[in-house]
Amino acid sequence: MRFSVKRTELARCLSAIEGFTARKSPLTALTGVRIKADKEAKIISCAATDLEMGIEFKIPAEEIQENGAGVLPSNILGNIVKKLDSDVVAFNADSNNKVNITAGAFQMALPMQDEADFPEIVPAESKDVLDISCDLFRDMVKKTIHARSNDPIVRAVLTGELLEARNGYFNVVALDGYRIAWRWEKVEAEDFSMVVPGKTLVELVKLIAEEDEEAASIKIGLAKNGTQAVFKTDKFMVVTRTLAGQFIDYEKLITGVEPHVTVTVDTFGFFSSIERLYVIAKEASENNTVIFNIRSGSIEAHTEADIGSAYEKIECETKGKELEIAFNAKFLLEAVKTVGVEKTELVFGGELQPCLVKPLNAEGQINFILPVKIRKNQ
pLDDT for position 189 = 94
Query: Residue 266 in contact with residue 342, Cβ under 8 Å?
Result: yes
Sequence-ordered list of residues with C-beta below 8 angstroms from that of 271, at least 6 positions apart, any chain? 333, 336, 337
| Same domain for 227 and 145 | yes
Q: Provide the percentage of residues in the chain whose pLDDT is more than 90.
A: 87
Give me the amino acid identity at 209: A
- Do residues 341 and 307 lie in contact, with contact meaning Cβ atoms separated by under 8 Å? no
| Average pLDDT rounded to a whole number, residues 19-30 | 86
Q: Decide: 107 and 79 in contact? Cβ < 8 Å.
A: no
Q: Tell me the per-residue pLDDT of 213-240, one tens digit each, with 9 for 90 and over.
A: 555 899 999 998 889 999 999 999 999 9
Mean pLDDT for all residues in the chain: 93
- Is 185 within 8 Å of 170 (Cβ atoms)? yes
Q: Provide the 8-state DSSP code for 119.
A: P
Ranges assigned E (strand) in 7-143: 32-38, 43-49, 53-60, 63-66, 68-73, 88-93, 98-103, 106-111, 126-133
CA distance 50 to 259: 46
Number of domains in the chain: 3
3-class secondary-structure state, position 306: coil
3-state secondary structure of 159: helix
Of 222, 252, 282, the residue that ends a domain is 252
Shared domain check, 84 and 37: yes
In tens, the pLDDT along 245-260 reads 999 999 999 999 999 9
Residue 28's CATH number: 3.10.150.10
Q: Same structural domain for residues 343 and 227?
A: no
- Residue 375 in domain: no
144 and 245 inside one domain: yes
Contact 71, 113 (CB under 8 A): yes
CB neighbours of residue 361 within 10 Å:
9
Give the mean pLDDT of 8-23: 92
CA distances (Å), origin 76, targets 33, 177, 307: 10, 41, 46
With a cut of 60, say whether residue 378 has pLDDT above it: no
Domain boundary among 219, 252, 285: 252
Half-sphere exposure of 335 (CA within 13 A, CB side): 30
Domain boundary among 233, 252, 271: 252
- Residue 171's domain comprises 126-252
Residue closest to 157 by CA, chosen among 176, 172, 140, 144: 176
The answer on 247 and 131 residing in a single domain is: yes
**Both 265 and 218 in a single domain?**
no
The predicted-structure confidence for 135-147, as pLDDT tens digits, reads as follows 999 999 999 999 9
Q: List Cα–Cα distances, 254 to 128, 310, 329, 353, 366, in angstroms.
A: 30, 31, 20, 11, 9
Full-prediction pTM beyond 0.75? yes
Is the residue at 229 inside a domain?
A: yes
> What is the DSSP secondary structure assignment for residue 234, as one 8-state letter?
S
What is the DSSP annotation of 238-251? EEEEPPPSPPP-HH
Cβ 210 vs Cβ 16: under 8 Å: yes
pLDDT tens per residue, range 269-319? 999 999 999 999 999 878 899 999 999 999 999 999 999 999 999 999 999
Query: Is there a single domain that holds both residue 226 and residue 291?
Result: no
Residues 44, 152 share a domain: no
